Structure formats: structure tokens, C-alpha cells
Amino acid sequence: MIEIKFIGRGGQGGKTAAYLAAEAAFAAGKQVQAFPEFGPEREGAPVFAFTRISDSSIKIHSGVTNPDIVILIDESLCDELDVMAGVKKGSPVIVNAPKISSKLKRKLKGASIHYVDATKIALAHLGRNIPNLAMLGALATVSDLFSLDSLEKAFKKELGHKLKPEVINKNILAMEEAAKQVKE
Amino acid sequence: MIKKKAMTGAEAAAEAMRQINPEVVAAYPITPQTPIMHKFSQFVAEGDVDTEYINVESEHSAMSACVGASAAGGRVMTATSANGLALMFEIVYIAASSRLPIVMNVVNRALSGPINIHCDHSDTMACRDTSWIQLYSENAEEVYENNLIALKLAEKVNLPVMVCQDGFITSHAVESMKVLDDKTVKDYIGVYKPKYYLLNIDKPITSGPLDFFDYYFEHKRQQIEAMTKVIPEFHKIVKDLSKLLGKDYDVLEEYHLDDAEYVIISLNSTAGTVKHTIDKLRKEGKKVGALKIRMFRPFPLQEVAKWLTGKKSVAVLDRSASFGSVGPVYHEIRSALYETEAKPKVVSYIYGLGGRDINVEHIEKVFEELENGTAKAENYLGVRDENER
Amino acid sequence: MPEGGLIVEAGNSIEFKTGAWASVKPVHDKNKCVNCLKCHFICPEGAISVKDGKIDKFDLDFCKGCGVCAEECPVKAIKMVKK
């Protein structure tokens, strides 16, 4: 069983990302679970969301304390909280950043750091800083949990009725670009 | 036909409601129940159901509208949580006393105060003496199944049913699950034909009359005795569902109990975390098992006694407190074992109030304390001591 | 016994002789009465009957002595007296 922790701020789509990761893995035949951790619901407040992916049925219903993968949607959160809390040594952390600064390197010590400028990609394609789908594109590259194809299907299934087709397509482009650009 | 889906517990409840297609639904939003009615009102707006959806100004009115609609002869459903359930309490009692087969999804949340929106069972445990049947759900799939069982059971015994699921932990978590197709569900639940109903103009009746020392007691006796028919009816009802979904259903679910010496009893989502922990401890050769309570009202006293006789020790996990007495589940379990010969030692753990997380380490600690005999009669799990900050 | 306190026979109010509650009873003055039938319609027990468009009888088996008829009569043709 793989446990993924999404760390972001309210409004950046962390909860949706956790649900989409589950949907994508489910489409690929895996057993899944995804849930947000609800604090005060405010735009800008730190938000955690989690996805469990397994080949066998998932019975556990507790919070995730030792994630296998961390997706840091907003690098500035490093200053406010311990992003590495409970993270196993050598686990991948995918961070939304243009480069790995020495501070970020210090804050994410012990992790296998991957980075992608998802904000820049989201702004270029969507004109808004909603980097969640770009971050999932990067996750698809870094892990073998699901393909970009299953992710695209999950995205269309979940949000196809809410978003305009051109917004869907722009998100898919952002996802594909981030999948290519993510670096270690 | 069975379909695999990934859904939240709230969506699973709404999906069951869509397939049941009740005549009337009246509800008022409250966290964490809101996503059930959010989803269901979309079905109404899009014409996927024939339901008359009544917007009301409070939960008291929601249940009042349900009582009226059910007495009129309709299939009626609703949903609520915590403070909403507390506000409708008066009518919750009247619904059961009027023997109306209403099905209500309750998303378990701590009752205020101090104010808290997260999961515990204080809301439904406060309703355990209302004469509603209570079914508890481990995960989204069970929410779906329990809704189907609840509807049939309610209409069979003329008692309302609460289908409970853990707030956020189940209601807001996406999980892999199985659902039936619409036609199969329609055939399974059948057509509702009440014997007496207000809209039957060929046979006029009076519903909810004054009932003093002349007949009130007899009507209460009928309710007490109706509850004794629930478990046998449950067994009949789940037979067909077992065939459809390829799963067994019972009022209790045992997990590795046959050769277990140490047992944990729980309900709702924690039962899953207990199973997960047992899988881990069994690999280490520990003789541990679990009993999950699906039906809390009526309480399956005899079934509990049957499963627990001869075990070394048992821990009962309660996610609510009965202030001035012991935890509600612990209370029932102790009572169930009073007449048995080979009584296990039974201890209580209060845990998870206001959504406090319960994890594998907590469950391991409970099994450890059962095994080495260090558990006190009454314990807490995952709470600070008075002198801690 | 029907469940939930349901009363399944319609029209059963005839079984309740509410006249037993009364301490006063109406006395009707046929000479004063203009047969407007107001008392017939407002009587909560339906105890005042009408025959050929005129007030006929006050059924004391059901009159509970509330006095609404006397209060509402426009020509004061009804008086409440001790039973």
C-alpha cells in the first residue's frame, strides 16, 4: 500500500488532487482511498489531503502519519510547518518550485527531491495559479501508480460536467508539460 | 449486475437514495451530512428521480415533513448530523412511535459543545432509546448496502432506521466499492404497500391521536415487541442481497474470531482499522480477533454472547461517552455476557471524541494491554492526562 | 390493535359523549330566533341540527356547554343555563 500526502493551501486544489489520484489509480484497477483533513476551510490556509493506493482491499481508516510520497503544492509552506513530519527516509517529495534553493534543500533533508514549476505551467496554460493537475502529471512520471492516460480519464470523469471543454484541455496540457519537466 | 466505483460515503448514500427513488425527501443542510443532500438534490434537479424534495427551515421541520409524508403513505428518506439530529429529536421519537418506516442517513459528528464538526458517535448514541433501528457502516460500500437493507427492514417491521457513517472519515473519503444496477435495486426493494395510510380515501384513518393511560402503554409494548422481530427479519432480507452482491451480511461481523483469545469490539470506520491491525498482528502469530457491530438497535445480545463465550479478554471501543455511566457499547456488551458461563474479562476504551484520530499503534496498544493483563476496567485511548498540556 | 395509535375506524367521534362535560346547557327561544343558522355552523361538536331550513334540536349528549352559540347569536335567542 502506498500513502500519498498532498500539502497545499486552500484554493490550490489539494483535495481535488487527492481524489483525482485515487480515481486515476482506480481506473488502473487498484484499490483506493482518498480523503482531506479538514481544518478551518479558508482560502490560503494550509490544507492536507491523502490518497491510499493498494493492490488489495484497504481496510484502514486512520489518518496518514508516515506518507510514502509527499506532494508539496506550495513551497512557502515549508516555513510554516514541518513538511517532512513522519516521512520515511529516501521517500520522494515532489515540490512545486522553479529550482531547489539551499533553504528548500535543508527543509526537505532526507527526501528524494523532485521539482517542477507547476505554478508557472498553470499560469501559462490556465492563466490562474491552480497547479494541482500539473503536480499530478509530475506524480505520474515520478511514480508508477497510474498513467497520464488514466489521469486524463479520471479528470474528465470527475470535472467534465463542471468545466468548459477548453479549460479541461488547458489542464491536460499543463499536466502533460509538468510530466515532462519534472526533475530530480 | 455489479459495477465497481470509487465514491465517498456521502455519494454512496446519495446513490442508494437515487436508486430507491423515494417519494418524499425533506432535509436541512449540516456538516458533514451536506454532501449527501448536495448530491441528491442534483439528482432531483436533473430529473433522475421522481422525488418531491422539500426544502425546510430546520431539522425539526425536516423530520416533521417526513412524518407527514410517511403517514400519508409515501416512501420517505432524509439525512442529518449531530446538532441537526438533536434539533429534530422530538420528532425522531414521534416518527418511531407512529411506526413510520422512514430511513435516515446520519453522518456521525460530535455534539456541541465546545463546538466541533468532526466524527464521534455522541449524536446517534443519544438516540439509542428512540425506537429507531440503527445500522452502522464500516465504509462507503456498507453505507450503500445498509441503505438498501434499511429500507426493506423499515417497511417490514414498521420502524424507522438510521444508517450511520463516520463524519469525514467515511462521508468525505473516496473508496473503491461495488454497486448494483438500477433495475436490480428496484426489483430488490419492491413496491411499498402500507396497510394504512392517510391518502387512502377509501379507508379513512386518524394518525397521531391523543393517547393517555387508556392505550399509550399498549402502543409502547407493541414497539418493544416489534424490536424483537427485527433481527429475524434482517436475516430474511439479507439472503437475497447476499446472492446479488456475493457477500454475507449479519448483525455482527466476526474477524478471525474462531481461534482468537483477545478480541476488540468496535463499530463504523474504526472496525476497518482494527481489521488492518489484526492482519498485521496475525502475521506475528498473535491470536487476535474482532467483532464488528453492524446493528446496534436492536442490540444483538444473544449473538454477542455466542461469539464472546470462552474468549480470554475483550476490549470494547466507544466513540462516545455516557456521562455518569460507562460507554454505551461497553454497557451493552457487559449486559450481553451476564448470563454466560465462561465470561471473558471485558474492558472499556473511550477513544476518538471530536474526531481525534485512532491509528494502528493505538489498536496494537489495546491488544498488548489485553494480552499482558494491564488494561484497567475503564481506559482512554489517545487523550492527554489532566497534568499534560 | 392497530400499531402506532392509529384509529382505523372513521367517524368514531360519535362514541365520545362530550355532553358529560357540560355544567350549563343552551336554551333556545324559537320566537326570537331568525334561523340564520350561525349557531349550527359554529358549534364545535355539531350538536345543533337543522330541519327544513330551521334550527331543530340541541343534542345534549354532545353539547359540552361551551356557550359559543349563545355568544355568537345575533338576536340573543340562546341562553346558557345551569344543567
CATH of C24-82, one of 3.90.1150.10, 1.10.645.10, 3.10.450.50, 3.30.70.20: 3.30.70.20
Task: Write down the mean pLDDT value for chain B.
Answer: 97
Chain A residues within an 8 Å CB radius of B360: 60, 62
B197 contacts chain C (CB < 8 A)? no
CATH number of the domain within which B199 lies? 3.40.50.970
Q: Which residues of B touch C10 (CB under 8 A)?
A: 203-206
Whether B122 and B213 map to the same domain: the answer is yes
Nearest CA in chain B to C8: B205
Q: What average pLDDT does the segment B122-131 reach?
A: 98
**Cα gap C65→C79, rounded to integer Å:** 11
Distance of residue A28 Cα from the nearest chain B Cα, in angstroms: 12
Question: B218 to chain C, minimum CA–CA distance in Å?
Answer: 9
Cβ contacts of A60 on chain B, cutoff 8 Å: 272-273, 276, 360
Q: Is the pLDDT of residue B136 over 70?
A: yes
pLDDT digits (tens, 9 = 90+) for A93-143: 999 999 999 999 999 988 999 999 999 999 999 888 889 999 999 999 999
**Which pLDDT belongs to residue B231?**
98
* Of the candidates A103, A99, A129, the residue with the CA atom closest to the CA atom of residue A114: A99
Mean pLDDT of C35-62: 96
Per-residue pLDDT at C69 exceeds 90:
yes
| CATH number for the domain that contains residue A164 | 3.40.920.10
Nearest to B6 among A23, A35, A38 (CB): A23
Are the beta carbons of B153 and B161 closer than 8 angstroms? yes
Residues of C in contact with B215 (CB under 8 A): 1, 5
Give the total number of structural domains in chain B.
2
Eight-state DSSP code of residue A85:
T
* Shortest CA gap A184–chain B (Å): 31
Sign for the pseudo-dihedral over CA of B177, B181, B182, B183? negative
Q: B158 and C7: CB-CB below 8 Å?
A: no
Chains A, B: CB pairs < 8 Å: 61
Tens of pLDDT, residue by residue over B299-320, are 999 999 999 999 999 999 999 9
Percentage of chain A exceeding pLDDT 70: 97
Least confidently predicted of A164-173, B177-186, B278-287: A164-173
Same domain? B150 vs B50: yes
Cβ <8 Å between B169 and A34: no
B180–chain C nearest CA distance, Å: 34
Whole-angstrom distance, CA of residue B261 vs CA of residue B288: 6
B158 part of contact set with chain C, CB < 8 Å? yes
The answer to whether A59 faces chain B, any CB pair under 8 Å, is yes
> B327's torsion region: left (phi>0), alpha (psi -120 to 50) or beta?
beta
pTM score of the predicted model: 0.92
Q: Name the burial class of residue B349, with classes exposed (0-12), middle (13-18) and buried (19+) by CB atoms within 10 angstroms of its CB.
A: buried
Chains C and A touch (3+ CB pairs under 8 A): no
User: In angstroms, rounded to a whole number, what is the distance separating the alpha carbons of residues B159 and B100?
Assistant: 6
Q: Does A32 touch chain B (CB under 8 A)?
A: yes
From chain A, the residues in CB contact with B172 under 8 A are 35-36, 38
More confident residue, B387 or A32: A32
Among A16, A62, A153, A157, most B C-beta atoms within 10 A, so best to mutate, is A62
Average pLDDT of the residues in B264-289: 98
Does the structure show a pLDDT above 70 at B250? Answer: yes
CA distance B177 to chain A (A): 9
Number of separate domains in chain A? 1
Three-class SS of chain B: CEEEEEEEHHHHHHHHHHHHCCCEEEECCCCCCHHHHHHHHHHHHCCCCCCEEEECCCHHHHHHHHHHHHHHCCCEEEEECHHHHHHCHHHHHHHHHCCCCCEEEEEECCCCCCCCCCCCCHHHHCCCCCCCEEEECCCHHHHHHHHHHHHHHHHHHCCCEEEEEECCCCCCCEEEEEEECHHHHHHHHCCCCCCCCCCCCCCCCECCCCCCCCCHHHHHHHHHHHHHCHHHHHHHHHHHHHHHHCCCCCCEEEECCCCCCEEEEECCCHHHHHHHHHHHHHHCCCCEEEEEECEEECCCHHHHHHHHCCCCEEEEEECCCCCCCCCHHHHHHHHHHCCCCCCCEEEEEEECHHHCCCCHHHHHHHHHHHHCCCCCCEEEECCCCCCCC
Per-residue model confidence (pLDDT) at position A40: 60
Residue B386 within a domain: no
- Residue B322 lies inside a defined structural domain of this protein: yes
Does residue A6 surpass a pLDDT of 90? yes
- The cell for A72 is 508539496
Is the model's pLDDT at C12 over the cut of 90?
A: no
The contact set of C with B (CB < 8 A) is 1-8, 10, 12
Taking CB atoms and an 8 Å limit, are B205 and C3 in contact across chains?
Answer: no
**Given this model, what pLDDT does residue A42 score?**
64
Question: What are the tens digits of pLDDT across the range B287-303?
Answer: 999 999 999 999 999 99
Across chain C, mean pLDDT equals 94
Contact of B204 with chain C, judged by CB distance below 8 Å, is answered with yes
Note the pLDDT of residue B63: 98
Domain assignment present for residue B148? The answer is yes
Q: By residue range, what is the domain housing residue B135? A: 2-243
Q: Which residues in chain A have Cβ-Cβ distances shorter than 8 Å to B166?
A: 61
Tens digit of pLDDT for each residue in A10-42? Answer: 888 899 999 999 999 999 899 999 999 876 656
B12 Cα to chain A: minimum distance (Å): 14
What percentage of chain B exceeds 70 in pLDDT? Answer: 100
Q: What is the CATH number of the domain that holds B344?
A: 3.40.50.920
Q: What is the pLDDT of residues B372-382, one digit of tens each?
A: 999 999 999 99
What value does the mean pLDDT take over residues B43-52? 98
Q: Taking 90 as the threshold, does the pLDDT of residue B389 lie above it?
A: no
Angle, CA B143 vertex, CA A53 and CA B130 arms, to 5°: 145
Alpha carbon distances (Å) from C54 to B149, B319, C37, C61 = 61, 72, 7, 21
The predicted-structure confidence for B209-249, as pLDDT tens digits, reads as follows: 999 999 999 999 999 999 999 999 999 999 999 999 999 99
C-alpha grid cell for residue B325? 455511566
Give the minimum alpha-carbon distance from B170 to chain A in angstroms, rounded to a whole number: 8
Q: Is residue B229 part of a domain?
A: yes
Cα–Cα distance between B357 and A35 in angstroms, integer?
Answer: 13
For residue A49, the enclosing domain spans: 2-181
Question: What would the pLDDT profile of B54-86 be if each residue is shown by its tens digit?
Answer: 999 999 999 999 999 999 999 999 999 999 999
